Amino acid sequence: MIRDAVVLAAGLGSRIGRNDIPKPLLSVGGMPLLKRTLLTLAAGGVTRACVVIGFMGDRIRAAIADDPEIASAGVQVEFAENPDYLLANGVSVLAARARIAGPFVLSMSDHVYDAGLARLAASADLLAADLVLCVDRRLDEIYDMDDATKVRTEDGRIVDIGKTIAGYDCVDCGVFAVGPALYDALAAERQRRGDCSLSDGVLVLAGRGRARVVDIGNAFWQDVDTAGAAQRAEAILTLR
Band of residue 16 on the pLDDT scale cut at 50, 70, 90: low
The pLDDT value recorded for residue 237 is 82
Q: What is this structure's pTM?
A: 0.96
What range does the domain containing 96 cover? 4-239
Q: What is the DSSP string of 10-51?
A: -S--GGGS-SSS-GGG-EETTEEHHHHHHHHHHHTT--EEEE
Band of residue 12 on the pLDDT scale cut at 50, 70, 90: confident
The pLDDT value recorded for residue 18 is 64
Q: What are phi and psi of 6, to 5 degrees?
A: -120, 130
How far apart CA 28 and CA 21 sit, in angstroms, is 13
Dihedral sign (CA 35, 37, 43, 47): negative
The pLDDT value recorded for residue 230 is 83
The pLDDT value recorded for residue 228 is 86
The rounded mean pLDDT for the chain is 94
Q: What is the DSSP string of 194-211?
A: S---HHHHHHHHHHTT-E
Band of residue 13 on the pLDDT scale cut at 50, 70, 90: confident
- Chain segment 122-170, per-residue pLDDT in tens: 999 999 999 999 999 999 999 989 999 999 999 999 999 999 999 999 9
Comparing 4-18, 19-33, 55-69, the range with the smallest average pLDDT is: 4-18
How far apart CA 89 and CA 28 sit, in angstroms, is 22
The 3-state DSSP class for residue 8 equals strand
Residue type (1 letter), 33:
L
Of 211, 164, 162, 163, the closest CA to residue 185 belongs to 211
How far apart CA 204 and CA 28 sit, in angstroms, is 34
How far apart CA 186 and CA 82 sit, in angstroms, is 15
For residue 172, what is the domain's CATH number?
Answer: 3.90.550.10
**Do 42 and 75 form a contact (C-beta atoms < 8 A)?**
yes
The pLDDT value recorded for residue 37 is 98
Band of residue 17 on the pLDDT scale cut at 50, 70, 90: low
- Chain segment 23-56, per-residue pLDDT in tens: 999 999 999 999 999 999 999 999 999 999 999 9
Burial of 61 (0-12, 13-18, 19+ CB in 10 A): middle
Count structural domains, the chain. 1
Flag whether pLDDT at 196 surpasses 60: yes
Comparing 8-12, 13-17, 133-137, the range with the smallest average pLDDT is: 13-17
Residue ranges of E strands in the chain: 4-9, 27-28, 31-32, 48-53, 76-81, 104-108, 111-113, 131-136, 150-154, 157-162, 170-178, 211-215, 221-223
The 3-state DSSP class for residue 88 equals coil
H/E stretch holding 91: helix 89-95
How far apart CA 14 and CA 52 sit, in angstroms, is 17
